[in-house]
Amino acid sequence: MKVLVTGGAGYIGAACVEQLCEAGHTVTVLDNLREGHRSAVDPRARFVRLCLSEREAVLRVVRESGAQAIVHFAALALVGESMTDPSRYFRNNVAYGLNLLDAAVAAGVRKLIFSSTCATYGQPERLPITEDLPQRPINPYGESKLMFERLLGWYERLHGLEFVAFRYFNAAGATERCGEDHRVETHLIPNVLKVALGRAAQCEIYGTDYPTPDGTCIRDYIHISDLADAHIRALAPGARGFFNLGNGAGYSVREVVRMCEEVSGVRIPVVERPRRPGDPPRLVASAEKAMRELGWRPRFPGLREIVASAWAWHRAHPDGYAD
Ligand SMILES: NC(=O)c1ccc[n+]([C@@H]2O[C@H](COP(=O)([O-])OP(=O)(O)OC[C@H]3O[C@@H](n4cnc5c(N)ncnc54)[C@H](O)[C@@H]3O)[C@@H](O)[C@H]2O)c1
């Protein structure tokens, strides 16, 4: 199938492009390289450097690609930054995303697969989080993703553009080629491994008095290869709707730090900081729906294998993609 991938030079997008190419799909990547890396893009894919803000050019690229489906990863994704510059988030993630939706309709694309997030749920009423729980985002990032989910509903209803929206929990891990190299890194595992690599002196834990067994926040980590696999399943006819993607198992911040120590063999100095506003104590997914309807199963569910894959990538790429 011909597939256009936006944000395909980013962390999760690059791993998905790799798997799409592996599966024999013809892939065009569209990315403005604001965050992504050219060398992360699988050489089998065609690469176009373009911002989704360029409405006419986006339509041209979608048409030229002949895409039957679009996988839409491109977004700004820093929760803290979205609280200080909400306009940028709504513009990039919603308004520019609209250019992509209009291009998809104009070019006759059949389906769009969207990277949504568990941040659309805000503070969940109960755990594990199922897709039918109320969505009440507590930051502009989550709100922008929820707004795009709603646009998808309207575009399906009014233009027949089918969609699958995946609400990822904490993406983690690496493939041999693709790993995490964000300019501003806010994710726990790469930040802890930076210490193990000798690139940072210590790691910080925000909040040690949560109502959890060791007092630190619990999150659900899902390997990027498992996320990529779900996207490929979503290309199949009949796959439609909203799906959580997580392991259903939560690990605390201290458990993650301990696992990084075990895997790397390096002791990690930790500095305890106060809670950050808006961090729920626990976020754990139910991915039953994706398992039932898409036949998806995480192949790398264990924290050890997730951390070990990330450690292998960071050791091989101590300067990240270096571009
Ligand atoms: N990383 C996670 O844990 C996580 C969790 C939930 C959801 N998500 C979502 O998954 C997607 C991918 O996340 P990631 O961690 O790989 O992020 P990333 O920043 O590594 O990748 C995003 C890519 O999109 C590109 N991009 C952004 N705005 C663009 C624009 N206007 N035009 C063209 N390209 C643009 C960036 O250059 C980058 O390569 C995002 O939509 C994010 O919101 C990520």
Whole-angstrom Cα distance, residue 256 to residue 203?
12
Classify 252 as helix, strand or coil.
Answer: strand
Amino acid present at 17: V
How would DSSP label each residue in 7-76? TTTSHHHHHHHHHHHHTT-EEEEEE--SSS-GGGS-TTSEEEE--TT-HHHHHHHHHHHT-SEEEE----
Pocket flag, ligand 1, residue 114 (CB < 6 Å): no
**Alpha carbon separation from 170 to 16, 47, 189, 223 (Å, rounded):** 16, 27, 10, 8
Whole-angstrom Cα distance, residue 234 to residue 249?
23
Which whole number is the average pLDDT over 112-133? 97
Pocket flag, ligand 1, residue 248 (CB < 6 Å): no
Which residues are marked as active site?
141
Q: How remote is the CA of residue 37 from the centroid of ligand 1, in Å?
A: 12
Q: Which of 30, 42, 49, 73 to mutate to test the pocket of ligand 1 (most atoms within 8 A of CB)?
A: 73
**Alpha carbon separation from 219 to 47, 145, 237 (Å, rounded):** 34, 19, 32
Would you state the pLDDT for residue 323?
75
Q: How remote is the CA of residue 134 from the centroid of ligand 1, in Å?
A: 24
Give me the percent of the chain exceeding a pLDDT of 90.
98
Residue 259 makes CB contacts below 8 A (sequence gap 6+) with: 251, 303, 304, 307
pLDDT, tens only, 10-66: 999 999 999 999 999 999 999 999 999 999 999 999 999 999 999 999 999 999 999
Q: How remote is the CA of residue 266 from the centroid of ligand 1, in Å?
A: 30
Q: How remote is the CA of residue 186 from the centroid of ligand 1, in Å?
A: 13
Supply the residue whose CA is at minimum distance from atom 34 of ligand 1. Answer: 31
| Reported confidence tier of residue 277, pLDDT bands at 50, 70, 90 | confident
DSSP 8-state class, residue 93: I
Ligand 1 atom closest to Cα of 14? Answer: 16
Would you state the pLDDT for residue 91?
98
Supply the residue whose CA is at minimum distance from atom 32 of ligand 1. Answer: 51
Pocket flag, ligand 1, residue 120 (CB < 6 Å): no
Ligand 1 atom closest to Cα of 13? Answer: 16
pTM assigned to the model: 0.98
What spatial distance separates the first Cα and last Cα of the chain, rounded to whole Å?
30
Question: Measuring CA to CA, which residue among 307, 315, 302, 223 is closest to residue 263?
Answer: 307
pLDDT, tens only, 210-228: 999 999 999 999 999 999 9
Would you state the pLDDT for residue 98?
98
Q: Domains, the chain, ranges and CATH?
A: 2-171+221-245 (3.40.50.720), 173-219+249-316 (3.90.25.10)
Whole-angstrom Cα distance, residue 279 to residue 175?
29
Would you state the pLDDT for residue 99?
98
Strand stretches in 68-156, DSSP E: 69-72, 111-117
Amino acid present at 277: P
CA neighbours closer than 13 Å in the CB half-sphere of residue 147: 17
Q: How remote is the CA of residue 34 from the centroid of ligand 1, in Å?
A: 10
Whole-angstrom Cα distance, residue 12 to residue 4?
15
The rounded mean pLDDT for the chain is 97
pLDDT reading at 269 higher than 90: yes
